[in-house]
Amino acid sequence: MSKPKCWQDVPPATIAWGASALDVETGLWRSMRPVLDQNKCISCLKCWLQCPDSSIKTSEEGRVCGINMFFCKGCGVCAQVCPVNAISMHQEADFTNEKREHGEDPGRVAGHVK
């Protein structure tokens, strides 16, 4: 089913399009940011298994290749489970000047339901 244009299109009592939470930028919650050191990483995938927010990116060969800052809530589980300390936690305030892509604000009702 395609995304409804207005509320009249929304079927009652259902969310008719799956995986729509992918629009929600939960990364806005983050106060600590995990930083991955690719040189230290051994791709044991422990962080990928344990991440509550599925934010550890993996390459096609199944190697850890980054952290998705759009969704990462900064809980620090990845840094804690890493056996070689390849992930370190840093203050989010140190990255304020960084340009990045924004999603829908989870605090507001989505733009398509007016």
Partner 1 sequence: MAGIDLKELTKKQNPLTEGHRMCPGCGAPTAVRQALMAVEDPVVVVGATGCLEVSTTVYPYSAWRVPFMHVAFENAGAGISGVEAAHRVLSRKGVAREKIKFVAFGGDGGTYDIGLQSLSGALERGHDFTYICYNNQGYMNTGAQRSSATPISANATTSPAGSVIPGKLQRAKNLTEIVTAHDIPYVAQTTLHDPMDLIAKVKRAVETPGPAFVNVLVPCPLFWKIDSADQMKVCKLAAESRFWPVYEVTEGKHVLSYKPKNPVPLEDFLRVQGRYSHLFKKGRERMDLVAQGQADVDREWERLLKKCAG
Separation between Cα atoms, residue 81 and residue 49, nearest integer Å: 10
Separation between Cα atoms, residue 69 and residue 35, nearest integer Å: 10
Pairing of strands 87-91, 32-36: antiparallel
Size of the site for partner 1 (CB under 8 A): 46
- State the nearest-atom distance from the C-beta of 100 to partner 1, in Å: 15
- CB-based contacts of 49-54 (< 8 A; 24+ apart in sequence): 50/77, 50/78, 50/81, 51/77, 51/78, 52/77, 53/26
- State the nearest-atom distance from the C-beta of 29 to partner 1, in Å: 6
Quick check: 79 binds partner 1 (CB under 8 A)?
yes
Quick check: 55 binds partner 1 (CB under 8 A)?
yes
Quick check: 61 binds partner 1 (CB under 8 A)?
yes
Contacts to partner 1 by CB under 8 A: 10, 15, 17-26, 29-30, 45-46, 48-55, 58, 60-62, 68, 70-71, 73-77, 79-81, 89, 103, 106, 109-110, 112-113
